[in-house]
C-alpha cells in the first residue's frame, strides 16, 4: 500500500502492526489525542456482506467497556477505507513482555488470569466473540492486561477473506472444535484464554508454532507442552486445554486452582471451598453437579482467600459468610462442566471423619517433577565419555539402547499421566491400559530415539572427522570430542524429552539421599580414574565388536 499521512480525518503517525485482517497505525484525532487506527483489509472493504456485518458489529463493540478491554472510539463503515479506531494502549504485547521479562508465576499468573477473564466476559456479555485471543492480542499496560482486536475476526468471518485464505485462526490458539469446523462459541474463546495463560506460564506456545500440521494434531489430541510451569499450574491448564469441551473446567475453577483457592487432590481434581463446615453437617454428594452450581448468583466477581483446608471429594460445604459464596462471573454456556470423579468408599468415610474437612491433601506424587541430580548426572556422563574413548562401539550401542528404553518408558508414562488427568486421578485398570498402549509407546519411543541418537551420531561423527582429517589430532581426542558433542546433541534434542524425564526419575530412585549420591560420585570417580589410567598407558580406541576398522587408521 502507498504511504499515506491521513485516513478519514486521522493523521497517521506510524505503522505499529499488521496482519491478515488489518493494518494498525498510531494516529492523532482532531484534538491531537493518540489513538490506534485499524485499517481493515481491502477484501473486507470490497465485500458488501462484510460491510453490513461491520456496521452491526461496531454498534455492539462500542458498548463493550471495562478496565481490561480497549475501548472502541470510532469507525468508518461507508467510505472506501473501512477502519476502526480504538484507544491506544501504551505498553508491549504479552508475548513481548514474557520475552523481555520472563514468565508469570504465582500471584502474578493468577492475577493475569482473572483480569483477562474479566475482559473476555465483558466481551461475551455484549454477545461478541473474540475468536483470535492470543499473546499478541493482549497489551500489557499500567492498568493491567488489555484485550485488543476483539470482534475483528467476526467482522471478517463472512467476507471473501475466508475464501482466499487470508483469514485464519492462529495455529495453537484456536480451540479443537473450531479446527474441526464447528462454529466458534464462548467455550472456544475460553480455550484460547487457557492457551494464552499457558504461554505466559511457560514462555513458549503450548502446542508449538507455525502452520505445521503437527500443531493442529497436538491441539486436536491435547498434547500440550507445559514444561517449565509449576505442577499445579500445569495440572489446571492441561485440564482447561482438554480437546473435549465437556471435560474442561469452567474459568472460575481454573482461576481457583491457579490462586490456590481450589486445592488439587491426588484422586480428585476439585475439592470444596475454604473454611468448610464439619463433616457431619455436609450435604449429600453432588454427583454430576456442575461446579458453577456451587456458588450463588450475586453478580459479583469471586474473591478467594489465600489459604484453605480441604473437604471430602464430591462434597460442597458452604462458607460461613457470604464472602466465600460469591459467584463465578464467567459465562459457561456452551462450555465445560468439570466433574470430579466419585469414590463411594472415600465419600462414606468422609461422612464420619472430620479430618477430611481440615487436612490439606498434597499434590499427587505422579504429578510432582522429579528432583534434579546435576552432580551425579555430570559425573556419570564424564565416566561415559571417558570410556567411550576406550570402547567406542560398545558405548554407542549402550547409549542407543538406554535412550530407546528410557524413551519408551517416558512415552508410556506421559500417556498414563494424561489418562489420570482425564479421569481425575488414579484409576482401576491402569496396568492394562499401559500394556494395551505398549505397541504405541514402543513405536513412539523408537521414532524419538532414532531422531535424537541419529542426530547425535551425525554431529559427533562429523566433528570426529574434522578433528582427525583437518586438524590431524590423535584418535583418542577425535573419539572423545565426537562422543562429547554427539551425546550432548542427542540428550538435548527435542525428541529426547521423554528420555530425560525418565532419567530424572531413575536418579531420584537410585540417589534419593546425600549418602546415595556420595556413593555414586565415589564410584564414578573410580571408573573415571581407571579410564584415565588406560589413556596414560597409551591405550587406543578399541572398536570391538565391529570387525572392520572403519574409522581412524
The confidence score (pLDDT) of residue 224 equals 92
Domain boundaries, the chain: 6-87, 98-144+167-357, 374-536
Distance CA 97, CA 108 (A): 13
278-282 long-range contacts, CB within 8 A, separation 24+: 278/354, 278/357, 279/311, 279/312, 279/350, 279/351, 279/352, 279/353, 279/354, 279/356, 279/357, 280/351, 280/352, 280/354, 281/317, 282/311, 282/312, 282/315, 282/317, 282/350, 282/351, 282/357
Supply angle C-alpha 36, 41, 46, rounded to 5: 130
On whether the CB atoms of residues 429 and 422 are closer than 8 A, the answer is: no
Distance CA 553, CA 551 (A): 6
On whether the CB atoms of residues 389 and 542 are closer than 8 A, the answer is: no
Plot region of 535 (φ>0 → left; ψ -120 to 50 → alpha; else → beta): alpha
- Which three cell numbers mark 237? 491448564
Pick 98-144+167-357's CATH classification: 3.30.460.10, 1.10.510.10, 3.30.310.160, 3.40.50.1360. Answer: 1.10.510.10
3-state SS record for 161-200:
HHHHCCCCCCCCCCCHHHHCCCCCCHHHHHHHHHHHHHHH
- Which three cell numbers mark 418? 494424561
Distance CA 340, CA 117 (A): 23
Pick from 137, 230, 130, 139: which is nearest to 175 by CA?
Answer: 130
Sheet holding 6-7, edge to edge: 6-7, 10-18, 22-28, 34-40, 83-87, 72-76
Query: H or E element: which one contains 39?
Result: strand 34-40
Report CA dihedral (535, 540, 543, 547) to the nearest 10 degrees: -150
pLDDT, tens digit only, all 553 positions of the chain: 456 788 888 999 988 877 667 788 889 988 888 998 888 877 666 677 767 777 777 777 777 777 788 888 888 877 778 888 888 888 899 999 999 899 999 999 999 999 999 988 888 888 888 888 999 889 898 888 988 877 565 554 544 444 344 444 678 899 999 888 888 889 999 999 999 999 999 999 999 887 777 888 889 888 999 998 988 999 999 999 999 998 999 999 999 999 988 877 544 444 333 333 333 333 333 333 333 333 333 344 433 333 323 333 333 333 333 323 333 444 444 333 333 333 333 333 333 333 333 334 445 667 667 777 788 888 888 888 888 888 888 888 999 999 999 999 999 988 888 887 777 677 778 888 888 889 999 999 999 999 999 999 999 889 988 988 888 888 888 888 888 999 999 989 999 888 888 888 888 888 878 888 888 888 888 988 888 888 878 777 887 777 544 455 4
On whether the CB atoms of residues 120 and 189 are closer than 8 A, the answer is: yes
- Which three cell numbers mark 390? 576406550
Pick from 414, 387, 385, 415: which is nearest to 491 by CA?
Answer: 385
What three-state secondary structure class fits 276? Answer: coil
Distance CA 406, CA 441 (A): 11
| CB-based burial label for 305 (10 Å; 0-12, 13-18, 19+) | middle
- Which three cell numbers mark 334? 456452551
- The reply to whether 38 sits in an annotated binding site is yes
| DSSP for residue 303 | -
Architecture per CATH, domain 6-87, reads as 2-Layer Sandwich (3.30)
Provide the CA 350 distance to its chain's centre, in angstroms.
Answer: 35
- Which three cell numbers mark 436? 494395551
22 φ, ψ (degrees, to nearest 5):
-160, 160
On whether the CB atoms of residues 126 and 63 are closer than 8 A, the answer is: yes
**171-208: buried (b, 16+ CB within 10 Å) or exposed (e) per residue?**
bbbbbbbbbeeeebbbbbbbbbbbbbbbbbbbbbbbbb
Amino acid at each position: 500500500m502507498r504511504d499515506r499521512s491521513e485516513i478519514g480525518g486521522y493523521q497517521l503517525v506510524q505503522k505499529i502492526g499488521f496482519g491478515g485482517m488489518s493494518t494498525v497505525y498510531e494516529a492523532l484525532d482532531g484534538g491531537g489525542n493518540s489513538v490506534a487506527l485499524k485499517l481493515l483489509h481491502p477484501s473486507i472493504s470490497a465485500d458488501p456482506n462484510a460491510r453490513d456485518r461491520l456496521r452491526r458489529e461496531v454498534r455492539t463493540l462500542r458498548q463493550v467497556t471495562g478496565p481490561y478491554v480497549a475501548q472502541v472510539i470510532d469507525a468508518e463503515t461507508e467510505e472506501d477505507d473501512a477502519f476502526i479506531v480504538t484507544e491506544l494502549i501504551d505498553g508491549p504485547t504479552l508475548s513481548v513482555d514474557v520475552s523481555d521479562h520472563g514468565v508469570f508465576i504465582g500471584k502474578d499468573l493468577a492475577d493475569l488470569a482473572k483480569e483477562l477473564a474479566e475482559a473476555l466476559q465483558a466481551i461475551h456479555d455484549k454477545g461478541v466473540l473474540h475468536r483470535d485471543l492470543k499473546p499478541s492480542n493482549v497489551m500489557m499496560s499500567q492498568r493491567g492486561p488489555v484485550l485488543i482486536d476483539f470482534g475483528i475476526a467476526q467482522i471478517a468471518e463472512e467476507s471473501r477473506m475466508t475464501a482466499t485464505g487470508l483469514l485464519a485462526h492462529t495455529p495453537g490458539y484456536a480451540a479443537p472444535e473450531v479446527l474441526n469446523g464447528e462454529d466458534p462459541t464462548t467455550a472456544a474463546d475460553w480455550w484460547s484464554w487457557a492457551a494464552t495463560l499457558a504461554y505466559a506460564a511457560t514462555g513458549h506456545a503450548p502446542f508449538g508454532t507455525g502452520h505445521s500440521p503437527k500443531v493442529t494434531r497436538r491441539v486436536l489430541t491435547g498434547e500440550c507442552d507445559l514444561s517449565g510451569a509449576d505442577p499445579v499450574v500445569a495440572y489446571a491448564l492441561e485440564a482447561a486445554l482438554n480437546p473435549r469441551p465437556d471435560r474442561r473446567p469452567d474459568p472460575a475453577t481454573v482461576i481457583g486452582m491457579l490462586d490456590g483457592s481450589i486445592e488439587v487432590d491426588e484422586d480428585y481434581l476439585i475439592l470444596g471451598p475454604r473454611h468448610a463446615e464439619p463433616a457431619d453437617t455436609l450435604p449429600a454428594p453432588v454427583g454430576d453437579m456442575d461446579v458453577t452450581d456451587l456458588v450463588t448468583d450475586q453478580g459479583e466477581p469471586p474473591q478467594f482467600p489465600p489459604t484453605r483446608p480441604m473437604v471430602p471429594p464430591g462434597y460442597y460445604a458452604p462458607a460461613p459468610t457470604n464472602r466465600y459464596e460469591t459467584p463465578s462471573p464467567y459465562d459457561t454456556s456452551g462450555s465445560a462442566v468439570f466433574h470430579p470423579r466419585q469414590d463411594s468408599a472415600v465419600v462414606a468415610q468422609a461422612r464420619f471423619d472430620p479430618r477430611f474437612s481440615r487436612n490439606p491433601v498434597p499434590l499427587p506424587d505422579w504429578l510432582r517433577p522429579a528432583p534434579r541430580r546435576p552432580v551425579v548426572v555430570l559425573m556419570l556422563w564424564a565416566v561415559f565419555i571417558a570410556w567411550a574413548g576406550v570402547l567406542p562401539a560398545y558405548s554407542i550401542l549402550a547409549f542407543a539402547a538406554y535412550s530407546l528404553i528410557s524413551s519408551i518408558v517416558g512415552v508410556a508414562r506421559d500417556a498414563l499421566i494424561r489418562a489420570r488427568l482425564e479421569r481425575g486421578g488414579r484409576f482401576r485398570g491402569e496396568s492394562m491400559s499401559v500394556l494395551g498402549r505398549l505397541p504405541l509407546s514402543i513405536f513412539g519411543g523408537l521414532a524419538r530415539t532414532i531422531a535424537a541418537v541419529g542426530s547425535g551420531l551425525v554431529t559427533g561423527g562429523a566433528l570426529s572427522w574434522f578433528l582427525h582429517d583437518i586438524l590431524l589430532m590423535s584418535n583418542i581426542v577425535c573419539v572423545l570430542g565426537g562422543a562429547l558433542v554427539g551425546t550432548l546433541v542427542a540428550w538435548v534434542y527435542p525428541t529426547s524429552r521423554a528420555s530425560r524425564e525418565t532419567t530424572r526419575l531413575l536418579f531420584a530412585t537410585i540417589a534419593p539421599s546425600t549418602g546415595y549420591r556420595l556413593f555414586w560420585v565415589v564410584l564414578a570417580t573410580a571408573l573415571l580414574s581407571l579410564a584415565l589410567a588406560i589413556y596414560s598407558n597409551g591405550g587406543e580406541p578399541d572398536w570391538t565388536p565391529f570387525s572392520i576398522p572403519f574409522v581412524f587408521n
